[in-house]
Amino acid sequence: MTIHPEIAKILATLPAPDGSPLDPEAMRAGEAAQVPPAEQRQPLHAVVDVTAVTPTGEIPVRIYTPTGAETHGLLVYFHGGAFFLGSLDTHDHVARALARETGHKVISVGYRLAPEAAFPAGLDDCYAVVRWAAEQGENLGWDGADLAIAGDSSGGNFVAAVAAKAQDDGFSRITHQVLFYPSLDLDFDADRYASLRENAEGYGLETAGLAPFNAFYLDGGADPADPLVSPIKRKDLAGLPPALVITAEHDPLRDEGELYGCRLKEAGVDATVSRYKGSNHGFVQNFSWIPEFYRAFEETGEFLNAKAGLDGGTAQ
């Protein structure tokens, strides 16, 4: 299927990469300038900013409560941005949609970013907030049932790595993992996956841009051979939480996400892989206003609430 026409319109306006060095501060400022004012955001029962006090340090989090119910399941969310971009604000609309469609209280993590904070600072923050959420469950109004984790792109990388760290530590409270077009293999050899060539150019995220965009993370000591950096390299996936892996048809990272889902299934993990046709990398953040792509939030709700509607891999 060709790229969705609404996405194509936006892609046609993007300047061609000129090979100039990336400027994290300028790029962050550009993202921040596009965040809509609070009054234009999807309303929820409550949205509050708090500080999670953890052994890793004090970590800013934003908590989204969808309803006035006394208790909710918890969903800890890690935003994307190639480990150096993204914030609580740039992905505020994603967290709001997740809260609305899952019925879970969403805890969005303002983890430390590269290059200012070297590996594994961001990953440690994400894991620490998951442990904090479990420990603070009564204060957070947790129903004691679901403790899910979710993330998009590099946030999906953190989801897989956090699930692995939790298993290795004997922390068994994580009940679900949701990965939106995850970046799971930071070895960017273009011959590793067919999608790196099929979707190399013209769809927003380009294969040639993967190395420079991730360089801020890798140059800080993140080794692509380390399974906590490239979670697809973890040899034993047995016993990990049930997973929903959502991929984009026109995404260089498509095949590594789908391979990870298949490997989870082979390891006996209840895993669903769902490819969204006509979409590109970042569609959950950038194009969820298109009904076909907002469906990803609804599918996540079905997955977390064990409703009918998932068939183990039907593309949307």
SS3 state at 8: helix
Q: Which is catalytic among the residues 153, 154, 183, 195?
A: 153
SS3 state at 65: strand
Residue pair 73/146 in contact by the 8 Å Cβ criterion: yes
Place of tokens 């590594």: 256
DSSP state letters, 215-267: HHHHTTT--TTSTTTSGGG-S--TTPPPEEEEEEEE-TTHHHHHHHHHHHHHT
Cα distance between residue 51 and residue 110, in whole Å: 10
- The dihedral through the CA atoms of 149, 127, 25, 203 has a sign that is negative
- Alpha helix locations (H) across 136-187? 137-140, 154-169
Residue pair 5/292 in contact by the 8 Å Cβ criterion: no
- Do the strands 142-152 and 105-109 form a parallel or antiparallel pair, or are they unpaired? unpaired
Longest Cα–Cα distance in the chain? 53
User: How many other CB atoms are there within 10 angstroms of residue 84's CB atom?
Assistant: 22
Q: Which is catalytic among the residues 251, 255, 274, 279?
A: 251
What DSSP state is assigned to residue 47?
E
45 is catalytic: no
153 is catalytic: yes
93 is catalytic: no
**Catalytic residue annotation:** 153, 251, 281
